[in-house]
Amino acid sequence: MPKPAETVRQFMDRLEHPLKAEIDALRAIVQNANPQITEHIKWNAPSFCYGGEDRVTFKLHPTDRIQLIFHRGAKAKADDGFVFADTSGLIQWVTSDRGTVTFRDMPSIQAQQATLTQLVDQWVKATVQNDE
């Protein structure tokens, strides 16, 4: 069985997506947000773990945009009082503990790089603290 990094590399090598360069840029931003983040494939897309749990996962379809799903695992958690203050305004909340950040092009990714880096780091730390 290949190592997780090799699996992601293989997935990316065969991925046909009009925003592939943008996906790679976002992968680098998420990976660099915190040195403890690991990457694998989940839901047929790159996904990032912190503390052994999935926390940020790509949504690659439809192909006119890329979404990052900020979550606390595969299933939504029961209403356990989790609150995350998104001061960036980037997250569109689907539920109280699951939201999406959408990008359509490289200029928007580059413009939000520092904000997204900070947001990912804050998210993974907040979700792990809350889930302990």
Residues 86-109 have pLDDT tens digits of 999 999 998 878 899 999 999 999
Number of domains in the chain: 1
SS (H, E, C) the chain: CCCHHHHHHHHHHHCCCCCHHHHHHHHHHHHHHCCCCEEEEECCEEEEEECCEEEEEEECCCCCCEEEEECCCCCCCCCCCCCCCCCCCCCEEEECCEEEEEECCHHHHHHCHHHHHHHHHHHHHHHHHHHC
Residue 108 located in a structural domain:
yes
Residue 129 located in a structural domain:
no
> CATH number, domain at 60?
3.90.1150
Residue 130 located in a structural domain:
no
Is the overall model pTM greater than 0.85, yes or no? yes
Residue 131 located in a structural domain:
no
Residues 38-93 have pLDDT tens digits of 999 988 999 999 988 999 999 999 999 999 999 987 666 666 778 888 999 999 99
Residue 132 located in a structural domain:
no
Domain range for 38 is: 4-75+84-124
pLDDT band at 12 (very low <50, low <70, confident <90, very high): very high
